[in-house]
Amino acid sequence: MFKGWFRRRATVTATPSNSTYRHGNDTLIELRNVTKVFETAAGPFTALDNIMLNVDRGEFVAIIGKSGSGKSTLMNMISGIDRPTSGEVFIGDTAVHTLNESEMAVWRGRNVGIVFQFFQLLPALSLVENVMLPMDFCNMFTPRERRERAMMLLDQVGMADQAHKLPSAISGGQQQRVAIARALANDPPIILADEPTGNLDSKTAQQVFTLFEKLVDQGKTILMVTHDSDMARRVSRAVIIADGRIVNEYVAQALPALTLDQLGWVMRHADIRTYAPGAVIIEQGSQADNFYIITSGDVEVFIEHPDGGEIIVNHLSTGSYFGEIGLLRQGRRTAGVRAGFATGCEVAVLDQHEFHTLLAESEATRNTIERVARERHSQTQAAAHDDM
Ligand SMILES: Nc1ncnc2c1ncn2[C@@H]1O[C@H](COP(=O)(O)OP(=O)(O)OP(=O)(O)O)[C@@H](O)[C@H]1O
Ligand SMILES: [Mg+2]
């Protein structure tokens, strides 16, 4: 259902702690090994499992996942509304997970604007008073500046002419625009929006989304939980959550026909392995056992020449897979594969049983992989033939 939305930026990883953590040039939000366990009547429940997430300044990130996958819990870790059971949350230079309650309230008021699905404007206050509230709370700007600023923000969202109305006198879409103005009150660098368009009709939702795009253009960093796949495609990056884990974006890119559930299944079953530059991953002639998806770096596919040399038949990089030919033929490896000589690689590995389970679950994935295998196999044969 969600296809073709992946931006090719290497800023998110979802891997065990033994892999290298990649820093962007201008990281604003950084979650390191964040786990959240809720104590429930039925016992402990892991809502977030070892999340690694890195968001650069100025990114517009969609958070996608099924109901109950952990999206709101993730947002609460970033806003400091809730704390991780283990792991660390850094926003700029602030270690958010270490702040006490009063430090947290002040920090949040100045650094994070929050937009909710149900607007949550205070019903007894006028719109302009609602927008002034965060400035009053954080004691930002002088009292006179506060009103002027609130009017300026209402103007920015197209609501200045209704500033003195109560929330009950305007529509849902208008209330959400006022809520966005309120989120901007203290000029925070980050906006967190949890399904901000979930309660709006599609035309109004578009207007709100366009407003977010404008804010990103002005330099804000926005994380938005959404169920709307069209919106998810239009942002700079989509982060997929399944069962409390981030689905590696390159795994999702490699297997675009999988549903969110199936991607979650792959993330739970895949082993993440790293290979040093030049290390052999597959030996030609060995029995096929695993399927590999490249999540970082690249690989070379080669065949041995009868006179002892070798022929490079393919280069593959992140978001590609290999190892499928031998598994589909249930035979020996027709070519060798080694990690690229520049940076080595990291791969997500499924064993043959898991690979066949996956193909049985997703016919579209099976068809694509079978087609790719046929094309590659004939390429390899042609290369061997040409050279002999
Ligand atoms: N305070 C809590 N105590 C116990 N379990 C919780 C608590 N908060 C969340 N959970 C559980 O953690 C899981 C993730 O919840 P979360 O609200 O993050 O999901 P979500 O992805 O935002 O879902 P939705 O799309 O329905 O909003 C769910 O199974 C939920 O029941
Ligand atoms: Mg939620």
Structure tokens at 312: 């490079």
Tell me the average pLDDT of the chain: 90
Share of residues in the chain with pLDDT > 70 (%): 93
Same domain, 350 and 303: yes
CA distance linking residue 124 with residue 19, whole number of Å: 52
Q: Average pLDDT of 270-295?
A: 96
Pocket test for ligand 1, best of 40, 69, 225, 227 (most atoms within 8 A of CB): 69
Report which bound ligand comes closest to the CA of 73: 1
326 falls within a domain? yes
Name, in order, each residue with C-beta under 8 angstroms of 152's C-beta and a sequence gap of 6 or more.
none
Same domain, 235 and 327: no
Q: What is the model's pTM?
A: 0.82
CA distance linking residue 142 with residue 187, whole number of Å: 15
Same domain, 147 and 281: no
Pocket test for ligand 1, best of 35, 37, 40, 45 (most atoms within 8 A of CB): 45
Distance 70 CA to ligand 2 centre (A): 7
CB-ligand 1 contact for 76 (6 Å cutoff): no
Q: Average pLDDT of 8-15?
A: 35
CB of 335 within 8 A of CB of 313? yes
Reported as type and span, the H/E element at residue 388 is none
Same domain, 94 and 243: yes
Same domain, 242 and 286: no
CA distance linking residue 314 with residue 383, whole number of Å: 10
User: Dihedral through CA 349, CA 353, CA 359, CA 362, nearest 10?
Assistant: -90
CATH number at residue 300: 2.60.120.10
Q: Average pLDDT of 8-37?
A: 60
Report which bound ligand comes closest to the CA of 64: 1
Residue 9 pLDDT class (50, 70, 90 cuts): very low
Name, in order, each residue with C-beta under 8 angstroms of 86's C-beta and a sequence gap of 6 or more.
33, 34, 35
Quote the pLDDT of residue 19: 29
Q: Average pLDDT of 183-199?
A: 94
Summarize pLDDT for 236-256 with one digit per residue, the tens: 888 999 999 999 989 999 999
Quote the pLDDT of residue 200: 86
362 falls within a domain? yes
Give the type of residue at 190: I
CA distance linking residue 323 with residue 341, whole number of Å: 19
Same domain, 377 and 280: yes
Residue nearest to atom 25 of ligand 1 (CA): 67
Same domain, 242 and 289: no
User: How crowded is residue 118: how many other Cβ atoms within 10 Å of its Cβ?
Assistant: 13
Give the type of residue at 207: Q
- Using the CB atoms, write b or e for 59-70: b if 16+ within 10 Å: bbbbbbbbeebb
Same domain, 91 and 237: yes
Quote the pLDDT of residue 388: 53
pLDDT at 21 over 80: no
Q: Where are the beta strands (DSSP E) in 144-242?
A: 190-194, 221-225, 237-242
Q: Average pLDDT of 60-84?
A: 95
Residue 108, domain extent: 27-247
Distance 132 CA to ligand 1 centre (A): 31
Question: Which of 247, 276, 291 is the C-terminal boundary of a domain?
Answer: 247
Q: Average pLDDT of 189-202?
A: 92
Number of domain units in the chain: 2
Quote the pLDDT of residue 387: 58
CB of 291 within 8 A of CB of 321? yes
2 falls within a domain? no
CB-ligand 1 contact for 70 (6 Å cutoff): yes
Q: Average pLDDT of 215-238?
A: 90
Residue 381 pLDDT class (50, 70, 90 cuts): confident
Same domain, 220 and 301: no
Distance 73 CA to ligand 1 centre (A): 6
Distance 329 CA to ligand 2 centre (A): 44
CA distance linking residue 33 with residue 36, whole number of Å: 10
pLDDT at 18 over 70: no
Same domain, 191 and 297: no
State the distance between the two ends of the chain, measured CA to CA, in whole angstroms: 46
Same domain, 140 and 235: yes
Question: Which of 247, 279, 312 is the C-terminal boundary of a domain?
Answer: 247
| CA separation, residue 108 to residues 51, 129, 148, 352 (Å) | 21, 20, 22, 48
Give the type of residue at 1: M
Same domain, 337 and 236: no
Residue 25 pLDDT class (50, 70, 90 cuts): low
pLDDT at 20 over 50: no
Summarize pLDDT for 295-331 with one digit per residue, the tens: 999 999 999 887 888 999 999 999 999 999 999 998 8
Give the type of residue at 143: P
In Å, the largest CA–CA distance within the chain is: 86
253 falls within a domain? no
Residue 23 pLDDT class (50, 70, 90 cuts): very low
Question: Which of 213, 247, 281 is the C-terminal boundary of a domain?
Answer: 247
Summarize pLDDT for 86-142 with one digit per residue, the tens: 999 999 999 999 999 999 999 999 999 999 988 899 999 999 999 999 999 988 899
CB of 191 within 8 A of CB of 218? no
CB of 136 within 8 A of CB of 185? no
Q: Following DSSP, what letter does each residue of 329-378 receive, concatenated?
A: HTSB-SSEEEE-TTT-EEEEEEEHHHHHHHHHH-HHHHHHHHHHHHHHHH
CA distance linking residue 68 with residue 253, whole number of Å: 23
Q: Following DSSP, what letter does each residue of 217-284 receive, concatenated?
A: HTT-EEEEE---HHHHHHSSEEEEEETTEEEPHHHHHHSTT--HHHHHHHHHHPEEEEE-TT-EEE-T
Q: Helices 352-361 and 260-269 sit at what angle, rounded to 10 degrees?
A: 180
CB-ligand 1 contact for 226 (6 Å cutoff): no
CB-ligand 1 contact for 47 (6 Å cutoff): yes
CB under 5 Å of ion ligand 2: residues: 72
